[in-house]
Structure 1
Amino acid sequence: MYNIFSYVIFLCVTSLITIEVGRRCYNAGKHYLNYLIHDADFCLTINKILLGCYYLINLGYIGINLANWENVNSMEQLISVTAQRIGYISLILCFLHFINIFTLYFLRKKLIIK
């Protein structure tokens, strides 16, 4: 019974985090990509591709998390397991976001030098 509550909490929180972070990164990414590339149509295309990949990676990771969920037998374990899984998703989101920013920054520097 605790597993179902844990799944519902996990899915609600990770869905909210995924949608909100994706929306914010998409909106802020327009300006950042415009600053780096100076081509509005190309920036919009890249931004949409990044958003799609972001959602796919998150959905995949959420699915893997649900498939490998351990049995939850108490309320303490429910809070612990759910918080730990949500924390992992948050850390992965931050890591992927910074990889994207640094990759775009270094690609721009490489393009300017040539």
Structure 2
Amino acid sequence: MFNIISYLLFLCISSYITIDVGRRCYNAGKYYLNYLIHDANLCLTINRILLGCYYLINLGYIAINLASWDKVNSMEQLLSVTAIRIGYITLILCFLHFMNIFTLYFLRKKLTIK
């Protein structure tokens, strides 16, 4: 019973975080990409590709997490396991977001130097 509750709690929270962060990064990313690239159509295309990849990576990681879930026997374990799994997803989101920002920034610098 605790496993089902932890699965549902994890799926609800991680789905909300993934969708909310993706939407916010997509909306803010329009302006950042436009500043870097100066081509509205290309910026929109890159932003959509980044959003699609972002969702695929996160959904894959969520599925892997559910597949490798340990048996939960108490309420304390439920909260602990769920919090740790959500923390990992949050850290991965932060890492991917900053990796994208730095990659685009350095690509822009490289393109303007030539």
TM-score (norm 1): 1.00
The aligned runs of 1:4-83 (5 Å cut-off) are 4-83=4-83
Map of 1:3 onto structure 2 = 3
Map of 1:84 onto structure 2 = 84
Structure 1: 5+ residue runs without aligned partners?
none
SS in 2 for 1:73: coil
Quote how far apart the aligned CAs of 1:9 are.
0.2
Percent identity between matched residues is: 82
What CA distance in whole angstroms lies between the structure 2 residues aligned with 1:50 and 1:82? 27
What CA distance in whole angstroms lies between the structure 1 residues aligned with 2:78 and 2:25? 31
Structure 2: 5+ residue runs without aligned partners?
none
What CA distance in whole angstroms lies between the structure 2 residues aligned with 1:18 and 1:75? 25
What CA distance in whole angstroms lies between the structure 1 residues aligned with 2:23 and 2:92? 17
Which residue identity is paired with 1:77? Q
Quote how far apart the aligned CAs of 1:12 are.
0.1
Map of 1:108 onto structure 2 = 108
Which residue identity is paired with 2:49? I
Which residue identity is paired with 2:77? Q
What CA distance in whole angstroms lies between the structure 2 residues aligned with 1:33 and 1:65? 32
User: What is the RMSD computed on CA atoms of the aligned residues?
Assistant: 0.2
Which residue identity is paired with 1:5? I
Quote how far apart the aligned CAs of 1:76 are.
0.2
Aligned length: 114
Which residue identity is paired with 1:39? D
The aligned runs of 1:89-100 (5 Å cut-off) are 89-100=89-100
User: Structure 1, residues 35-65: CA drift from partner, whole Å, max 9, x if none?
Assistant: 0000000000000000000000000000000
Which residue identity is paired with 2:93? L
